Structure formats: C-alpha cells, structure tokens
Amino acid sequence: MDIRNIAIIAHVDHGKTTLVDALLKQSGAFREHQQVAERALDRNDLERERGITILAKCTSVVWKDIRLNIIDTPGHADFGGEVERILSMVDGAILLVDAAEGVLPQTKFVLGKALARGIRPIVVVNKIDRGDARPDEVHNEVFDLFAALDANDAQLDFPTLFASGRQGWADLEVEGARKDLTPMFDLIVSHVPAPKVDLEAPFAMLASILDYDNFLGRVLTGRVEQGRAKLNMPLKVLRADGTVVETGRLTKLMSFNGLDRVPVEEAQAGDIIAIAGLTDATIPDTLGAPELTTPIQAIPVDPPTLSMTFRVNDGPLGGREGKKVTSRQIRDRLMFEIQGNVALKVTISNETDAFEVAGRGELQLGVLIETMRREGFELTIGRPRVLTRINEETGEREEPMEDVLADVDEPYTGVVVEKLSRRKAQLQDMRPSGGGKVRLTFRMPSRGLIGYHSEFLTDTRGSGIMNRLFAGYGPWTGAIEGRRNGSLISNLDGEAVQYSLWYLQERGTLFVDPGDKVYTGMIVGEHSRENDLDVNVIKEKKLTNIRAAGKDEAMLLIPPRRMSLEQAIAYIEDDELVEVTPSAVRIRKRHLDPNARKRADRSSDSSAA
C-alpha cells in the first residue's frame, strides 16, 4: 500500500487535536454512530483537564487506498522535545495557524524545525469561523515567517488551505464551498512525498515514541527506515555509539488503524509501526536485524533550560497522605520518566535524598510533579532556577533568553511594560493587534518569567495572553528582584482555628482555612510587609463562666488564597519549598526551625558580603 507520513504542528491551542478528530471521522476510521470523546487522541487525564496535548500520538487512516500516518504533536514550548523527535518520522507537515491570533512564538519554533528537516509544509489557516478572523493578513504573516526562517524556494511555494477543524471543513479559497475535509486529504496525497525506501537493506527502525501498555508492557513506536520487519524475526538493539544493548525476537509487531494498534505479520520501510516485548530498548535506540552494524543517527534535542530539586518529604506530615515516600521510590520513578522523555535530565543532588531534574520549562516539570502526586508520591520541590553556561570564547556567564509575545488590552500596556522591565525585559516591538488589543514583543531572561504569569493575569484582569519561546543564550543580565512581600509562618503544630485566623487577616493574605493541618515552619499566608512573621494560627479563644455584656463579634473570614501546583512553585523563594502530596499542596520554609532559619540567613548574608 502507498504511504504518506505527516505531522500536525502548531502553536498551543490552534486546533491540532480537534482537526485530527475531524480527519478520523471523515476518513471512516470510526463506525457510524460510534461514540467518540472530543479530542480523542488526548487520552491522558491531565491532557483532558488542561485542554493541551502533552505526548505525541500516532494514528492512521486510509484515503483512496493510500495509508496516511498522522502524528499529533504538542503545541506548548515546554514539550518541544516531542516535536523534534516526531519530525524525524515524517515526510510532510501541516502547519496550523489560528485565523485570529496569527503567527505566535511556538509557530516559529515548530516551523523552523520542520524547514531545517527539509520538509515542505502545507499551511492551514484554521478557525476561519471566528468572528475576529483575519485570514488574508494571517496568510501574509505566515509567508513573512517562512522568509525570515530562510525557507528555500520550494518551501516558500507552500499550498494554503482555509479551514474550521471544529466544523470539519477545509477549502482552497476563503469563501469556498466549505463542505468537508476532502480538499485537505487530496492535498496531503498530492503534496507530501511518499517515503524513499530501500526494501532490500537489513531492517532498521529508530525508536521515537515510548509508552507503556498494561498488557503489552513497553511499546516503542517509530518509522521503518529500511528493509522489512517480520513477526518472529531475530532483532537487536543498538545505542547511538553502536553498543548492542539487547537481542531477542520480534514477538509483537503492530501497525496503526484509526486510534488502535492492530497486530500485523509484516511491515515495510516507510511505514510507522509499534514494537512491544523488548525490556531495555528506549529512545533513541535503533532496532534492527542482526546483520545491522550502524545505528540510525537521531536528531539532537535542544538542552534543558530550567532545573528543580526533587526531595523527600521530611516535614512533620510526611508519610501520612502518600504511599510512595522514600528517596529510592522517587529515584526509580524519575529514571523511568527519562527513558521516554528525552527533554528531561536527572542527576543526584548535593543535598541529602534529593535529585536535580532539568527540563524545558515550568509547565513540563509541573506536569511531571502532578503525575507523580496522582500516583501516590510525596515529595518537596525547590524553587525553579535557570541553567547557565560559560561562553568558551569570551569566558562570560550566559543565561537562557526568551522571546515573549503578550496580547493585552490597551489600558494595561503600561503596567505590563513596567513589570517586565523590572525583570530585565527589553521591549522590541509594540503594535495594535485588533479588537482594542496591543501586541508587545520582548526579549528577556528566562528567570525573569519565573512566577510572573499569575501576576500578568492579575494585572490584565484575566484578559491578557502571553506566549514565550526559548531564543538561545545571552549575557547574564544581573540581579532580578523577587517577591516583595514576606511570609506568615506558623510557629506551632496543630489545626488552624477561626479565632486566630480572624485576627491575622489584617496582617496579610491567608492561605489556610479553619481546620487545615499546620506545622512549625509552614507558610500560612503572605505578609503585608517585606519581612517574614511567625504567627500562631492554632490559638483558641479562652472560655470563662462569666457572661459577656454584649454579643461576640461575628468572625467573618475572607476566603483564603488557594494556589495550584504551578502557582505554588512559581511563588516560592530560594529559602522555601513546596510540599506535594496526593491530597495537598503546601508551602513551607526550607528550615522549619526558626533558629535554624536565622543561622541560615546569617550565613547567606556573610557569604554574600
């Protein structure tokens, strides 16, 4: 059967997974009247809750006797490692661009990677049905982006479709017939080249996706680069340096049909397949025939830019809410994670029972932590910090830099520019973007963005949209001011009491409700001033047998500020930790004992001097 391999790439929330739903339905991959969940490829609980794609997934449909292998990729910059690996499996790409939002930072990132691979993308201006759609302007923006990324003449001559993935149609003209996705299927078949294959060479496949199945175990997905894979054939696994790490037989060979993996007897070069039954093979190993001697070269993945410390939960409540609490269990889980997530790196920390986990951004690491807490883990997380490097030529210290693009309502431009300028951002462009909004473009250090997103939403009354993209390394920009307010710190163990909380409200913003468990060194609120303050939140009103002359005051509490996991991680300072358990997210001081905190402060002051 003739084959086309294609990836769908785009900025986050531009409609990739919804478009794949429509492609599956109109190709006949689902039975008539079959009940299918919206965004069928987003099977992970976190993907459904957050409305984002975290893991790349492969599906396959047949159109006019041609197999179309379609891979849905993540849109968020933190999961860029997934996109880079997937592009090595395909011969074409659909670049999806929102008809209203236009070209955004991640559009530039994914397109740059595709062009560097020599891929000639199909451009789809999606969400034409939006009231604020501007398809012609966006089409021009896309062409300018191709030119800015040094696309060759063949790539600049890209075909364009105008579509609505949610309504299930695409057309070559903005005001076309708008019937179905037939124009898109036909364009994929005519524009995307069939894979160039050598069927006589020894079988070889580069593992690009690793997942786990309760019945099959480890499942490795990739494209057959050469030869044929046959069930029960002998197999060996090569690392990038040529080392043989495993030998065995190909006992489970599967191809894709719609959303399902189906067993097959044979697969040939150019097809995307899944292999199960191996124990040590991982990404990006080469799976091949016994006579294969040279591994397939994998695409180098951009290095991590952000690091966090994962520690055991050594607080007073440690071990009460989770089942997996030891450093060995945490280590095994992290090592399991990096087998399939090539954008993460894990090293042993200098601290006791701690590990340094480096990744692309706060969201990527936040998703890992949230997954672990749902699996029953307890751990504490340190403040995110950027990974710097030394320029070998100049000897200067360099740090990761970001291109930041913010769409804000005009009245809020001043406060956004002011706040980001304090964080060492340099304003590069300011232009109206329609609907009373202004598009601001900044270049700034990555560490300046840590903890800023919630502040940005507050400053723009929830109407602002901010996107970021790693832009490389630049000279160290100096100190950046942190959180201005101090913390309210519990000085006793117990349960928070309404009487105490009512009196403490005037001191700042509280994080706990009456009845919440607290302990010495736990942060129960944000002080209204710059200094930390030890407070008693478990003090109860003294009762006497003397009747009060008047009525007691009604103790009405302001609802506490509840932080999500990502908000808590972004909020903490260097001397604070986030305690994560299956049932709670708490913030605490690194040193719980107040005397230990004072000694640590004195030593840090003396070292700074």
Q: What pLDDT shows up at residue 304? A: 85
Ligand-binding site membership of 13 (annotated) = yes
Characterise 51 by phi-psi region: left (phi > 0), alpha (psi -120 to 50), beta (else). Answer: left
d(CA 340, CA 85): 11
Q: Is the pLDDT of residue 255 over 70?
A: yes
d(CA 229, CA 269): 8
Q: What pLDDT shows up at residue 75? A: 61
Q: Which class would CATH give 204-288?
A: mainly beta
What's the DSSP call for residue 242? S
Q: What pLDDT shows up at residue 285? A: 87
Ligand-binding site membership of 16 (annotated) = yes
Homologous superfamily of the 487-608 domain (CATH): bipa protein (2.40.50.250)
Contact 83, 117 (CB under 8 A): no
Q: What pLDDT shows up at residue 212? A: 77
Ligand-binding site membership of 485 (annotated) = no
Give the residue-averaged pLDDT of 323-346.
88
pLDDT in tens, 178-233: 888 898 999 999 999 988 888 889 999 988 888 777 788 888 888 899 999 999 99
Give the residue-averaged pLDDT of 10-30.
75
Ligand-binding site membership of 14 (annotated) = yes
pLDDT in tens, 447-465: 888 878 778 888 888 888 8
Q: List CB contacts of 477: < 8 A, sequence separation 6 or more.
A: 399, 424, 445, 448
Identify which of 347, 445, 349, 357 has the alpha carbon closest to the alpha carbon of residue 397. Answer: 445
Give the residue-averaged pLDDT of 485-511.
91
- The residue ranges of every structural domain in the chain are 2-191, 204-288, 389-475, 487-608
Query: SS3 for 41?
Result: coil
d(CA 491, CA 600): 18
Question: What mean pLDDT value characterizes the chain?
Answer: 84
| CATH architecture for the domain at 389-475 | 2-Layer Sandwich (3.30)
Mapped to the 3 state alphabet, what secondary structure does 67-110 carry? EEEEEECCCCHHHHHHHHHHHHHCCEEEEEEECCCCCCHHHHHH
**Dihedral sign for Cα atoms in the order 282, 239, 363, 13:** negative
| CATH architecture for the domain at 2-191 | 3-Layer(aba) Sandwich (3.40)
The distance in angstroms from the start CA to the end CA of the chain is 72
Ligand-binding site membership of 272 (annotated) = no
Give the residue-averaged pLDDT of 19-32.
71
Q: What pLDDT shows up at residue 28? A: 65
- Report the predicted TM-score, pTM, of the whole model to 2 decimal places: 0.76
- Tell me which of 551 and 261 has the higher pLDDT: 261
DSSP 109-126: HHHHHHHHTT--PEEEEE
Contact 123, 92 (CB under 8 A): no
Alpha helix stretches (DSSP H) within 160-225:
182-191
Give the residue-averaged pLDDT of 471-488.
85
Q: What pLDDT shows up at residue 81? A: 63
What's the DSSP call for residue 293? -
Give the residue-averaged pLDDT of 259-282.
87
d(CA 76, CA 469): 9
Ligand-binding site membership of 285 (annotated) = no
Q: What pLDDT shows up at residue 392? A: 87
Q: What pLDDT shows up at residue 487? A: 92
